Chains A and B, each alone.
Chain A
């Protein structure tokens, strides 16, 4: 699909043409899933975000300014849908999540696995996953955009609808928490 064709499809979708919107869904689904998975860290949650993002995009197409880039606009929607989903999950499982984080941070010395086991990247990934789950939805979203997606602070601020300072501090808080949570791994390595 070249730029002219893409613009025409977008224009038709904005007029409520569901076939044109279908073309957009087919074109962007895989990149939306990739971002959603990185944001949520969970395949099922990512699928929910993909679905919700496209429904939200369809509803809000009238607000989309045609001179903007549809991919960038959709990217913002996906980031925000991910934050919303993580927030609602957090509200449901706050207690469990809190325990997971405590476990990660205050792991007793005796429970720290030996060097052989630590060498296994699967174990490291598991610890990283637990540590990421200990972040607030906004911290996790900001960290994902910065660390995995390589977005600048300004871009994160625009994607999440935050001020630059708030976006920056979300990243800082995430890094601080991750440093604490992953300290046992670092001490084993050194």
Chain B
């Protein structure tokens, strides 16, 4: 009678053995193999999957905050090597074409009527873009004011106490902060985005601290807010945005679609 090895029976346990039905029949008639199989199965059954510590909804954002300043250079795709040889020649040819198009455009006779509608359309786009920017800046200024109040509360909270109210408030502001930061990046408002980014990190830290915060934990949060000069930046940025809002005309009504608190 052919017996099965430990390796065969391990594969059988995991459902990867060839001729599974044959192994099954054999185990019914062979006491030695059945005993070995019971031993393997018994050992492996003891090894339960470890309980994985829970990670919250904001975990992805926390990971991002940890790695964002360390992102390395991306390696070029494999096919880049094939075109790299001709890259300089390609760039030179492209520059030549642009130059030729420019010269041709200057020398070629222009049809005169076509320019008016284009100018109107561009003007409309510009006005629309300007309004969108004003709405964004107004919303961000409001958001910064609310965030400033949370940060001020944290800076002035008693050294050992319950900060659950501030945490709830900060939790509401985190999502809004993130959306505004993305909008600011898209609008080319880099300095606004940078302040919102710092703010988001501090808000997250507040949200993830224990509600009954110890004096040491609270001190650590405050030190980080101080180190980033966050309250100062938030105030200055809010003032600056208000000034820009005033300079661009009458203040816009507060947008109702944004979550700001």
A interface list, Cβ under 8 A from B: 14, 16, 18-19, 21-22, 25-30, 33-34, 37-38, 41, 43, 50-51, 54-55, 58-63, 124-125, 128-129, 132, 146-148, 152-153, 168, 171-172, 175-176, 178-179, 182-183, 185-186, 189
A interface secondary structure, majority: helix
* Partner of A189 from B42, B64, B68, B70 at Cβ < 8 Å: B42
Q: Are A178 and B47 in contact (CB under 8 A)?
A: yes
> Does the CB pair A29–B60 fall under 8 Å?
yes
A188 to B78 CA separation, bound complex (whole angstroms):
57
Name the one of B16, B78, B182 contacting A152, with C-beta atoms under 8 angstroms. B16
Count of A-B contacts judged by CB separation below 8 Å: 117
B82 at the A interface (CB under 8 A)? no
- With A and B bound together, what is the CA distance between A22 and B67 in angstroms? 10
Q: Name B38-79 residues within 8 Å CB distance of A.
A: 39-40, 42-44, 46-50, 52-53, 55, 59-64, 66-68, 70-78
Q: Can you name 6 A-B pairs with beta carbons within 8 Å?
A: A21-B71, A25-B67, A27-B60, A50-B63, A62-B78, A183-B43
Contacts of A179 on B, CB cut-off 8 Å?
A: 39-40, 43
Query: A59 to B74, Cβ gap below 8 A?
Result: yes
Among B43, B74, B80, which residue has its beta carbon within 8 angstroms of that of A58? Answer: B74
Q: How far is the CA of A185 from the CA of B43 in the complex (A)?
A: 9
B209 within 8 A of A: no
Q: Which A residues are in CB contact (< 8 Å) with B10?
A: 171-172, 175
Look across to chain A and name the residue whose beta carbon is closest to the beta carbon of B57.
A30
CA distance A183 to B42 in the complex (A): 10
Given known A153-B16, A172-B7, contact A51–B40 (CB-CB < 8 A): no
Which listed residue, B39, B52, B71, touches A18 by the CB 8 Å rule?
A: B71
CA distance in complex: A81, B64 (Å) = 18
Give B99 Cβ to nearest chain A Cβ, in Å: 27
User: Can you add 10 more A-B contacts, CB < 8 Å, to A55-B72, A186-B43?
Assistant: A29-B63, A29-B64, A34-B52, A43-B53, A58-B74, A125-B50, A178-B43, A178-B44, A183-B43, A186-B39
| In the complex, the 3 A-B pairs of residues with the closest C-beta atoms, listed nearest first | A26-B60, A62-B77, A29-B60
Q: Report yes or no: B42 in contact with A55, Cβ–Cβ below 8 A.
A: no
Q: Nearest-CB distance from A40 to chain B (Å)?
A: 10
State whether the Cβ of B14 lies closer than 8 Å to any Cβ in chain A: yes
Given contacts A26-B60, A59-B75, A62-B77, contact A128 B70 (CB under 8 A): no
Q: Give the CA-CA distance A146 to B10 in the complex, in Å.
A: 11
Name B's interface SS: helix
Q: Which residues from chain B contact A19 at a C-beta distance below 8 Å?
A: 182, 185
Interface residues of B (CB under 8 A from A): 6-7, 10-11, 14, 16, 39-40, 42-44, 46-50, 52-53, 55, 59-64, 66-68, 70-78, 80, 182, 185
Q: In the bound complex, do residue A26 and residue B61 qualify as a contact, i.e. CB atoms below 8 Å apart?
A: yes
Task: Tell me the nearest residue of chain A to B70, going by C-beta.
Answer: A55
Considering the complex, give the chain B residue whose CB is closest to the CB of A61: B74
List, in ascending order, chain A residues with CB within 8 A of B52's CB: 33-34, 37-38
B74 cross-chain contacts in A, Cβ below 8 A = 16, 58-62
* A128: chain B residues within 8 A (beta carbon): 46-48
Q: How far is the CB of B205 from chain A (nearest CB, A)?
A: 17
Report the minimal beta-carbon distance from B90 to chain A, rounded to whole angstroms: 18
In the complex, what residues of B have CB within 8 A of residue A129's CB?
50
A28 to B11, CA, bound (A): 31
Distance of A171 Cα from B42 Cα, bound (Å): 17
Instruction: Tell me whether A59 and B77 are in contact (CB under 8 A).
Output: no
Minimum distance in angstroms from A158 CB to a CB of chain B: 15
Docked pose: A189 CA to B39 CA in angstroms = 11
* A34 to B55 Cα, complex, angstroms: 9
Tell me if B59 and A30 are in contact (CB < 8 A): yes
Which residues of B are found within 8 Å of A146, using beta-carbon distances? 14
Q: What is the chain B residue whose CB lies nearest that of A15?
A: B74
Give the distance in Å from the alpha carbon of A172 to the alpha carbon of B43 in the complex.
13
